[in-house]
Amino acid sequence: MKTIEPARLAGKSTEYADMLLLRFGEFTLKGKNRSRFEKTMLRHVKEIVKPYPMARLIKEYGRIYVELNGEPAGEMVEALAKVFGISSISPVKAVKPELEEIVEASLRFIEKVNPEPGTTFKVNARRVWKDFPHGSQEMNRLVSAPLLKTFPALSVDVRTPMLELRVEVREQYAYIFCENIPAVGGFPLGTNGKAMLLLSGGIDSPVAAWSSMRRGLEVECVHFFSYPYTSREARQKVIDLARVLSRYAGRIRLHLVPFTEVQTSFAGIGQDNLMITLMRRAMLRITTKLAEREGALALVTGESLGQVASQTLPSMNVIGRATDLPLLRPLVMMDKADIVELAKQIGTYDLSILPYEDCCTLFMPKSPTTNPNLRIIEKIEATLPGYAERLAEAVEAAVTVDITPYGNESPDDEADLISSAKEDWF
Ligand code: ATP
Ligand code: MG
């Protein structure tokens, strides 16, 4: 079956539209949560349309209409297609519920779409307002006849048309549209609880963050840095990544955790190959404490099975046992190429590939173990002097910043928190 790809249509029908119809995704199935989800969606959509003062929102059961009132449809479609919970968007023409108006608007719509010769189509009319004098079937004929006459490129195929012109006749307006632009889908923001995400400066963890948010999780990010081994640029890169993520969330809370003391405590053990395992477990322990403090119920990482030594199944097993909280790994079965593709779409890729050192790359041993032994690791941790205190100190010394899409927040603004970190670095 050949249908007209949304990419080829996109933009064409927006030119003529004066409304956008936003459809919700799979969460509409969840009966009793529905109204809460829809309220969250409406709030998020309101936030997105704020920069367009003429736009007006109309909430209906299971959908939202955006009245454009002259605001740019194409630009708004692009922004709204990123809102979690919206499954598709149709640019809609709204006219008076009168036959001539409907036919006229349909002609104009198809003219904008400018179908190529051989395009099959059908009209799919629905009479919702029962006092309208023509029934749904009759409307299909009444609208398609003049279209066929005007556009020789069109022929009818009622079963699998390439182009479907939808007409919905309601009491106030008749809505006409022919395009279903796919949007991001998922669940509305924060409707599935809160988790702590371990955000490195790499490619994967920002994608894991986005994937979590798409499932309705609110995420707070936790980043470990190793002053003076990691640079100011490396820290800025993480802040910038959190800022890109905040475009999807409105605001992202970022905890910056000083990690040098913890890392150096492993240096004297003489077991370089276990370094990464020990560091990852320490990160999970600290993040678990932060999760308890912040009321989060899970941890999220950007791990993907087999990607590096610390992401073999035996490594994941030993690392994962450092926390009692559910450890979510949204990318665990994904291929790197697909993760990279997503990172590009989300807008984090270009930042992620900036070359600044991460705290783990610096301490990276020549041959990290792919098969750590849990008992040995636990023994090392139990015999490290003052280890528990160092972990607790790292939690205490964490600096928290709330990042917004258009702000320029940085820890520099948090004067009273700076003293708890390293002054000359911040
Ligand atoms: P990424 O691209 O997300 O860095 P990666 O494939 O490079 O992932 P690792 O560097 O081994 O893999 O890290 C695995 C996971 O551990 C990361 O996805 C991230 O969730 C977490 N992590 C690693 N380094 C840090 C850090 N400095 N701060 C916070 N979390 C980190
Ligand atoms: Mg990394």
> Is residue 365 assigned to a domain?
yes
The residue to mutate among 198, 224, 327, 357, having the most atoms of ligand 1 within 8 angstroms of its beta carbon, is: 198
Question: Higher confidence at residue 41 or residue 292?
Answer: 292
- Please indicate, yes or no, whether residues 174 and 233 belong to a single structural domain of this protein: no
pLDDT at 407: 83
Same domain flag for 338 and 364: yes
For 88-98, write each residue's pLDDT tens digit: 999 999 999 99
Q: Separation of 350 CA from ligand 2 center, angstroms?
A: 15
Contact 358, 201 (CB under 8 A): yes
Between these two residues, 10 and 145, which has the higher pLDDT value?
A: 145
Task: Say if 111 falls within a structural domain.
Answer: yes
The residue-averaged pLDDT of 61-82 equals 91
If pLDDT is split at 50, 70 and 90, which confidence band does 228 have? Answer: confident
Please name which ligand lies nearest the alpha carbon of 303.
1
Domain boundary among 182, 214, 244: 182
Measured in angstroms, how far is the CA atom of residue 357 from the centroid of ligand 2?
10
Q: Give residue ranges with CB within 6 A of ligand 1.
A: 198-200, 202-205, 222-224, 283, 301-303, 307-308, 310, 358-360
Q: Is the pLDDT of residue 51 over 50?
A: yes
**pLDDT for 9:** 55
**Ligand 2 mean position, distance from CA 200 (Å):** 6
User: Do 18 and 158 fall into the same domain?
Assistant: yes
Q: Which residues contact 164 (CB under 8 A, 6 or more apart)?
A: 121, 122, 123, 124, 178
Q: Residue 4 domain-assigned? A: no
Among 61-75, 227-241, 342-356, 359-373, whose mean pLDDT is lowest?
Answer: 359-373
- Tell whether 283 and 151 lie within a shared domain: no
> Are 175 and 224 contained in the same domain?
no
Q: Would the pLDDT of 416 be above 50? A: no
pLDDT value of residue 419: 40
> Which residues form the domain of 55?
13-182
End-to-end CA distance of the chain: 59
Q: Which of 119, 154, 182 is the last residue of a domain?
A: 182
Instruction: Please check whether residues 237 and 264 belong to one and the same domain.
Output: yes
The Cα angle at residue 305 between residues 225 and 185, in degrees rounded to 5: 85
Whether residue 105 lies inside any domain: the answer is yes
Give ion ligand 2 contacts, CB < 5 A: 200, 202
pLDDT tens string 349-375: 999 999 877 766 666 777 888 999 999
What's the mean pLDDT in 262-283?
91
Share of the chain above pLDDT 70, in %: 91
Q: Which atom of ligand 1 is found nearest the CA of 198?
A: 30
What ligand is nearest to the CA atom of residue 195? 1
188 in a structural domain: no
- Count CA within 13 A, CB hemisphere, residue 241: 34
Torsion sign, CA atoms 121, 126, 132, 134? positive
Which stretch of 10-24, 47-61, 73-87, 398-412 has the lowest confidence by average pLDDT? 10-24
Nearest CA, atom 14, ligand 1: 303
Same domain, residue pair 272 and 147: no
- Tell how far the Cα of 217 is from the centroid of ligand 1, in angstroms: 19
pTM over 0.75: yes
Within this chain, do residues 153 and 31 fall inside the same structural domain, yes or no? yes
145 & 233 share domain: no
Closest ligand 1 atom to residue 358 Cα is 27
Query: Annotated binding site, which residues?
Result: 198-199, 223-224, 280, 302, 311
Higher pLDDT, 270 or 144: 144
**Band (11; pLDDT cuts 50, 70, 90):** low
Q: Are residues 131 and 272 in the same domain?
A: no
Residues 150, 287, single domain; the answer is: no
Residue 421 has pLDDT above 60, yes or no: no
120 vs 254: CA distance, rounded Å: 52
Residues of the binding site for ATP: 198-199, 223-224, 280, 302, 311
> Bigger pLDDT: 159 or 412?
159
Q: Which ligand is nearest to the CA of 238?
A: 1
For residue 7, being part of any structural domain is answered with no
Residue 330 included in any domain = yes
Ligand 2 midpoint to CA 346 (Å): 18
The residue ranking higher by pLDDT, 358 or 131, is 131
The pLDDT tens digits of the residues spanning 383-394 come to 999 999 999 999
In this predicted structure, the answer to whether residue 6 has a pLDDT above a threshold of 50 is no
In the block, residue with structure tokens 């994937």: 211
pLDDT of residue 336: 95
Res 125 pLDDT > 90? yes
pLDDT at 28: 60
**Average pLDDT taken over every residue of the chain:** 89
Residues 350 and 204 both lie in one domain: yes
Q: What does the pLDDT average to over 417-426?
A: 41
Which CATH number belongs to the domain containing residue 295 in this structure?
3.40.50.620
Which CA distances in Å does 333 have to 177, 187, 263, 303, 338? 38, 21, 29, 9, 11
Task: Give the ligand whose atoms come closest to the C-alpha of residue 205.
Answer: 1
Residue of 357 and 267 predicted with greater confidence: 267
Ligand 1 centroid from CA 112, angstroms: 48
The CATH number of residue 128's host domain is: 3.30.2130.30
- In the chain, how many domains are there? 2
For residue 87, give the nearest of 112, 62, 68 by alpha carbon.
Answer: 62
Q: Is the pLDDT of residue 130 over 90?
A: yes
Q: Report yes or no on 3 lying in a domain.
A: no
